[in-house]
């Protein structure tokens, strides 16, 4: 309101002043009356200004709600106009009002250009139906302020349709629910990212390699399900975080980082499990979910908590053909003249110790840990030999005893038997080439050096199996064969990643170790394709008759083995 002059309501001060100036009574009354008129005029002017301001603010206030006509596009076309001949029913009045309504709906001045309106429409995130509803709402507001009769639908616009309103409100409720869901998902993603951003301590479990292999096996089995895909994503995340790589690092970068990693296999898998479990917590995997989804193994003894630290890695043995050398020594420990319980124990526990397992680990635990070992056979053989030598040194074994102590590194004083000689680099290459063609290491060595392989076998302990107290020779051979098949089972489990039974074998509850001996037909009936291919790559299964011939070297035993091979006629991959 405009401020009025500072005049007193009763004008007493003005009258006193006029009287002192000698004005007559009539003049004083006229002047006082005129002053009161001016004051009333100021008051009326202020009241009108306030009313005009209120109306202007009201005119700028947008409608409380959009319009809900039965047909949006046709309704708006009737008011704004159409470019199709015969369909333009708009008048100059409705067209001008619609033009102003569009500008108001976009928050523009009423004199804004068409180009500004077009740009505002492009930037508007609302769908066409909602936007047209607001156009009509602004149009009605303008028509109402201009005094247009609401019953005049041509000029005022059509009324709302109740069903259209209900449908629109239902869609709006769905949109609100969807927006709430998206906000919840974003909050969960932020929380998951915060959890994953922290460092994860290594998992302290009895068999980290077997636990990791178990998760890999189940994730692969359920790869077509959401749970399987999420588990595979967690495994990829865990490997990269544990190796210090970015989440988007390629598989080649991961493999290169694993090769350069100085930790032991057990330490590395424990680190993988730590980050996998961290990701499972971030993904809110339920406590009652399957063990592999939570980052635990399906076998209780695999993920039993442990308090002792994982052993530090040993430097691998530097020997020629480490895998063939390991297999040769292991077979001698089972069947050779010099076999004893301590030698066999050291060979068996060397594999378990390489995976951080205690000496009482079962064949199943060792085999499961081998499944998660990404190294080549030669790399694993060199590691096993290093573990064997460490145990032999602790037990006070003579280093010159190649069988019980393990071979010394190249460049050291090695084989002391008369038939064993130091190989030159060229001879080592020729031996490697022969073993690559399928020769046994001992036969390849004998051919390159021109010595008798049978003499070498005798010197290396390939004689009759030793007998324990109270055993017959046949019982000793049977026991040695059982131990041999168990070690073959462990190797196969690692090579096939545990896939050793076909569906028929799993349904029948077959123990995979039983397939490594016994009838060929039964082995073929229940073995998986992976196991059959592995047998083929190894020259077939070794039957007891063949094993006996290899151990004793007797003429009749060799003849029996040959008859068994001819009778199989290639049916046993041998």
* Whether residues 141 and 229 fall in one domain: no
* Cα 329 to Cα 323: distance, rounded to the nearest angstrom: 10
pLDDT score of 185: 80
Assigned domain for 311 exists: no
Same domain for 415 and 521?
Answer: no
Tokens 């049977």, residue located: 478
Tell whether 546 is covered by a domain. yes
Burial of 206 (0-12, 13-18, 19+ CB in 10 A): buried
The verdict on 55 and 82 lying in the same domain is: no
Note whether residue 412 is domain-resident. Answer: yes
Q: What is the pLDDT of residue 10?
A: 53
pTM: 0.48
**The domain containing residue 512 runs over which residues?**
488-568
Residues ≥6 apart with Cβ < 8 Å to 265: 209, 313, 354, 355, 356, 369, 372, 373, 375
Count of structural domains, the chain: 5
| Same-domain check for residues 153 and 202 | no
pLDDT for position 225: 92
Residue 95 shares a structural domain with residue 154: yes
Q: Are residues 288 and 355 in the same domain?
A: no
Query: pLDDT value at position 275?
Result: 92
Task: Write the burial class of residue 281 (CB in 10 Å: 0-12 exposed, 13-18 middle, 19+ buried).
Answer: middle
User: How far is residue 207 from each of residues 149, 290, 352, measured CA to CA in Å?
Assistant: 85, 18, 10
SS (H, E, C) 207-260: CHHHHHHHHHHHHHHCCCCHHHHHHHHHHHHHHHHHCCCCCCCCHHHHHHHHHH
* Contact predicate 387/379, CB 8 Å: no
Q: Which pLDDT score is estimated for 274?
A: 92
Which residue in 348, 346, 366, 364 sits closest to 356, CA to CA? 366
Please check whether residues 154 and 283 belong to one and the same domain. no
Residue 173 resides in a domain: no
Q: Quick check: is 415 in a domain?
A: yes
Listed residues 441, 459, 477: the one ending a domain: 459
How far CA 29 is from CA of 9, 21, 151, in Å, comes to 14, 14, 57
End-of-domain residue from the set 152, 167, 182: 167
Length of the chain: 574
Q: Tell me, yes or no, whether 478 lies in a domain.
A: no
| Per-residue pLDDT, 572 | 53
Residue 427: what pLDDT? 79
Please indicate, yes or no, whether residues 43 and 84 belong to a single structural domain of this protein. Answer: no
Q: Is residue 247 part of a domain?
A: yes
One domain, residues 16 and 55: yes
Mean pLDDT per block of 10 residues along the chain (574 residues) reads 47 65 67 61 67 60 70 68 57 84 86 88 84 84 85 78 76 80 78 73 89 89 90 92 88 86 90 92 86 82 83 84 81 64 83 89 85 84 89 86 78 43 72 75 75 60 50 74 80 81 88 84 87 82 77 63 62 49
Judgement on whether residues 444 and 366 belong to the same structural domain of the protein? yes
Q: Do 159 and 269 belong to one domain?
A: no
- Does residue 451 lie in a domain region? yes
The neighbour count for residue 85, using CB atoms within 10 Å, is 6
Under a CB-based contact definition with an 8 Å cutoff, are residues 310 and 401 in contact? no
């Amino acid at each position: 309101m405009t401020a009025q002059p500072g005049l007193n309501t009763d004008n007493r001060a003005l009258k006193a002043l006029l009287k002192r100036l000698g004005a007559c009574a009539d003049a004083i009354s006229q002047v006082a009356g005129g002053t009161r008129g001016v004051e009333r005029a100021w008051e009326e002017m202020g009241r009108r200004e306030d009313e005009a301001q209120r109306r202007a603010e009201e005119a700028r206030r947008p409608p409380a709600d959009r319009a809900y006509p039965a047909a949006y596009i046709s309704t708006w076309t009737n008011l704004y106009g159409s470019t199709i001949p015969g369909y333009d029913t708009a008048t100059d009045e409705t067209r001008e009002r619609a033009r102003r309504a569009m500008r108001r709906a976009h928050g523009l001045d009423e004199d804004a250009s068409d180009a500004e309106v077009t740009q505002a429409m492009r930037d508007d995130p609302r769908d066409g139906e909602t936007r047209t509803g607001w156009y009509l709402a602004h149009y009605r507001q303008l028509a109402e302020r201009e005094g247009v009769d609401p019953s005049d639908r041509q000029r005022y616009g059509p009324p709302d349709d109740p069903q259209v309103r209900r449908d629109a409100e239902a869609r709006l409720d769905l949109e609100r629910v969807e927006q709430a869901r998206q906000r919840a998902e974003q909050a969960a993603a932020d929380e998951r990212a915060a959890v994953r951003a922290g460092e994860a301590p290594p998992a302290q479990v009895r068999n980290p390699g077997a636990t990791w292999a178990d998760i890999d096996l189940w994730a692969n089995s359920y790869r077509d399900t959401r749970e399987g895909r999420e588990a595979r994503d967690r495994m990829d995340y865990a490997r990269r975080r544990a190796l210090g790589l970015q989440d988007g690092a390629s598989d080649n970068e991961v493999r290169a980082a694993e090769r350069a990693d100085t930790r032991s296999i057990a330490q590395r898998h424990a680190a993988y499990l730590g980050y996998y479990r961290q990701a499972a917590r971030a993904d809110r995997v339920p406590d009652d979910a399957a063990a592999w989804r939570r980052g635990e193994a399906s076998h209780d003894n695999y993920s039993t908590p442990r308090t002792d630290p994982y052993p530090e890695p040993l430097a691998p043995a530097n020997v020629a053909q480490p895998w063939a050398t390991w297999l040769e020594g292991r077979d001698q420990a089972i069947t050779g003249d010099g076999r004893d319980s301590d030698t066999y124990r050291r060979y068996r526990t060397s594999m378990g110790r390489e995976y951080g397992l205690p000496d009482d680990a079962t064949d199943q635990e060792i085999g499961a840990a081998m499944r998660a070992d990404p190294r080549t056979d030669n790399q694993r053989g060199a590691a096993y030999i290093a573990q064997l030598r460490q145990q032999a040194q602790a037990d006070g074994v003579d280093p010159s005893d190649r069988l019980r102590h393990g071979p010394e590194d190249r460049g050291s004083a090695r084989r002391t038997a008369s038939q064993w000689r130091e190989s030159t680099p060229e001879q080592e290459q020729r031996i490697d080439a022969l073993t690559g063609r399928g020769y046994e290491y001992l036969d390849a060595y004998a051919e390159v050096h021109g010595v008798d392989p049978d003499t070498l076998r005798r010197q290396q302990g390939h004689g009759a199996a030793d007998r324990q107290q109270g055993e017959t020779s046949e019982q000793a051979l049977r026991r040695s064969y059982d131990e041999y098949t168990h070690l073959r089972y462990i190797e196969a489990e690692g090579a096939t990643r545990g896939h050793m039974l076909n569906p028929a074998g799993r349904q029948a509850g077959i123990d995979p170790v039983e397939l490594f001996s016994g009838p060929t037909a039964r082995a073929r009936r229940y073995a998986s394709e992976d196991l059959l291919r592995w047998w083929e790559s190894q020259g077939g299964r070794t039957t007891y008759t063949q094993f006996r011939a290899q151990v004793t070297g007797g003429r009749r035993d060799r003849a029996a083995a040959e008859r068994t091979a001819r009778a199989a006629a290639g049916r046993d991959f041998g």
